[in-house]
Structure 1
Amino acid sequence: MEPFNVHILGCGSALPTLHHNATCQVIEIRGKVFMIDCGEGTQIQIRRSKLHFSKIQAVFISHLHGDHCFGLWGMISTFGMTGRTVPLHIYAPEDFEEYFHQSMKLFCNGLGYDIHFHGLKTTEQKIIYEDRSLTVETIPLEHRIPCCGFLFREKPTAPHIRRDMIDYYKIPISQINNIKCGASWTTEEGDLIPNSRLTTPSAPPRSYAYCSDTRYMKRLHEVVRNVTLLYHESTYASDYRDRAKLYYHSTAEEAATVARDAEVGQLLLGHYSARYNNEQQILDEARAIFPNSTLANEGLVIKV
């Protein structure tokens, strides 16, 4: 099975601490590398993770709060100093475009590679990236400013050929692709060999949904239903429920409720308030509702 990994580079919230870095994740999927959000300190975290700068082909910015984007220009500048030549794609809320280009003129002239900005309508659920093996679509979220999450989905792959059956029925190599596409085979004697005897099913497609920052949304579970892994912000435990409501954040209980109602495979919690020196309370509250919950932490790599 092709790798599909989520690297946690930062999982803290707005106030910098010595305990957690600002939000950033790197997604490895089928040989491609993407970044979600780029908080302050991202470059150092990339070096600690031993991920390669040059392999990041796109950055997805969820919203324009500094803990999700202040690291972007430093990283773009470093890409230029390290000799990058391939284009970099930036996907971010459309209101960001003018400020982004102004900042590029101030800090990032003469890079040696191209930057392509893609403005997002955060109120739309829409596919914004697609290639032969995956799609990325936006997830409208509810925060104090325009904000969206991102849903990474593998495309279904062809079934696996049963080599023993191919050899037994002396099926020519030229017919392999047809069989992968669902064709059966007729022998010289006229016997029909069904496709199900010639193949085994491929692994089910995997998916990852990133939802940060947002208040609890009663219908979010419909958008992320059955995803393999859900990252949902859990800035507070229930002791700060009123604060979560005021600042359009979620509690661990609310994140777990989304995971339970969506019937996801696993819940990953993050975006912790600096008020907590230990996130065990957050984890305990989530697991009371959705047992397969895990705390994000810097350096953690989750295999989807």
Structure 2
Amino acid sequence: MKLTILGCYAATPRTLTNPTAQVLEIRNRLFLIDCGEGTQVQLRKNKIKFSKINHIFISHLHGDHLYGLIGTISTFSLLGRTTDLHIYGPKGIKELILLQLKLTESWTTYSLFFHELESKESEVIFEDAKVIVKTIPLKHRVYTNGYLFQEKPAERKLNVEAVQYYNVHVAYYQKIKNGGNVTLDDGTVIENEKLTFDPEPAKSYAFCSDTVYNEEVIPIIANTDVLYHESTFLDSEARLAEKTLHSTAREAATIALKANVKQLILGHYSTRYDGLEPFKKEAEQVFPNVLLADDGLSFDL
């Protein structure tokens, strides 16, 4: 699992900073999370293949999380894309995108599927053989969701020496990797634990931006491996955070602590501050394992 930060600053793009967008890679799948202005440029800079992105998750309909979407969709067409593209986001996102495509006469060369969200309860919105994605209802000025990405448990690893020792036929290998026992010709049952090794633990990633401090997310993201949580302000501007329904670095760290996550990544910084280190210092007073997101950074989770 790998996370690439394309943009992690609040409000508007600037010369050296970009609004929210990131790519999460899970077992050869690429998920684009939010799509602020300039996202497609950042994809190119970070050498991420457009063709591998088949699912886009939009947290809410504010410009710094959305205004890059129509450009990205259009560029996919210009590149001759034929693969389906699925877009998940608040109700209204379909109308917004289709109106732009209609008025510019820029219909796509591929099929667009919109999955519009309205529920204020956490729900599963995507699932395949390897990954499951759930919403994380957030509290912001408009309807907003974060997203929880969870790997499904991998197959068990075959112990080649053991299967050879017990003379297990190759036809049983897939059954063994799926966790099954094997019965030999003489009736002897070989338990799976003797034939396999445990797989790597399944990993999880939670994306929470934008939101006021909200403890209702804690049961949803509990024990997550990595949490990205917005930290628009420092404590010195806590009143402004409350007024605009954003969070401080200290509040993000408090959520991480109470949810018992393993790692916290801060982002969505207001550009009023000179440098990011104060965000880390403030958060570490509450939660020890803090990383700072920044445009172009990648994290191997």
Residue from 227, 233, 236 that aligns with 1:236: 233
SS of residue in 2 equivalent to 1:209: strand
**Pair 250,122 (structure 1): closer, same or farther in 2 beyond 3 Å:** farther
**Residue 128 of structure 1: aligned partner:** 125
Pairing 1:180–2:177 present: yes
**Residue 299 of structure 2: aligned partner:** 302
Instruction: For 1:60 and 1:287, locate their aligned partners in 2 and report how far apart those are by CA, in whole Å.
Output: 29
CA contact (8 A) 1:73 1:107 kept: no
SS of residue in 1 equivalent to 2:175: helix
Pairing 1:64–2:35 present: no
CA contact (8 A) 1:19 1:277 kept: no
Pairing 1:195–2:181 present: no
User: Letter of the aligned partner of 2:36 in structure 1?
Assistant: G
User: Letter of the aligned partner of 2:92 in structure 1?
Assistant: D
Residue from 73, 77, 83 that aligns with 1:76: 73
**Residue 170 of structure 1: aligned partner:** 167
Give per-residue Cα distances to partners, 1:7-59, cap 9 Å, x unaligned. 10000001333342010001111111110111011111111101111111011
CA contact (8 A) 1:93 1:120 kept: yes
**Pair 18,166 (structure 1): closer, same or farther in 2 beyond 3 Å:** same
**Residue 23 of structure 1: aligned partner:** 20
**Residue 43 of structure 2: aligned partner:** 46
**Residue 143 of structure 1: aligned partner:** 140
**Residue 114 of structure 1: aligned partner:** 111
Instruction: For 1:6 and 1:165, locate their aligned partners in 2 and report how far apart those are by CA, in whole Å.
Output: 37
CA RMSD, Structure 1 to Structure 2 (Å): 1.4
1:108 shift after superposition: 5.4
SS of residue in 1 equivalent to 2:96: helix
SS of residue in 1 equivalent to 2:3: strand
TM-score between both structures, scaled by the size of structure 2: 0.96
User: Letter of the aligned partner of 1:27 in structure 2?
Assistant: L
SS of residue in 2 equivalent to 1:143: coil
**Residue 99 of structure 1: aligned partner:** 96
Q: Aligned pairs, how many? A: 301
**Residue 287 of structure 1: aligned partner:** 284
User: Letter of the aligned partner of 1:291 in structure 2?
Assistant: P
Instruction: For 2:245 and 2:274, locate their aligned partners in 1 and report how far apart those are by CA, in whole Å.
Output: 22
SS of residue in 1 equivalent to 2:110: coil
Instruction: For 2:119 and 2:71, locate their aligned partners in 1 and report how far apart those are by CA, in whole Å.
Output: 25
SS of residue in 2 equivalent to 1:25: strand
CA contact (8 A) 2:183 2:189 kept: yes
Instruction: For 2:105 and 2:229, locate their aligned partners in 1 and report how far apart those are by CA, in whole Å.
Output: 33
Pairing 1:225–2:228 present: no
Residue from 219, 242, 267 that aligns with 1:245: 242
Instruction: For 2:163 and 2:300, locate their aligned partners in 1 and report how far apart those are by CA, in whole Å.
Output: 33
SS of residue in 2 equivalent to 1:272: coil
1:128 shift after superposition: 0.7
SS of residue in 1 equivalent to 2:92: helix
Q: Give the unaligned 5+ runs of structure 2.
A: none
**Pair 276,108 (structure 1): closer, same or farther in 2 beyond 3 Å:** farther
1:100 shift after superposition: 2.4
Task: Give percent identity, aligned residues only.
Answer: 45
1:95 shift after superposition: 2.8
CA contact (8 A) 1:158 1:180 kept: yes
Comparing 246-255 with 24-33, greater Cα deviation is found at 24-33
**Pair 247,201 (structure 1): closer, same or farther in 2 beyond 3 Å:** same
Instruction: For 1:211 and 1:296, locate their aligned partners in 2 and report how far apart those are by CA, in whole Å.
Output: 13
Aligned pairs for 1:235-274 (under 5 A) are 235-274=232-271
SS of residue in 2 equivalent to 1:222: helix
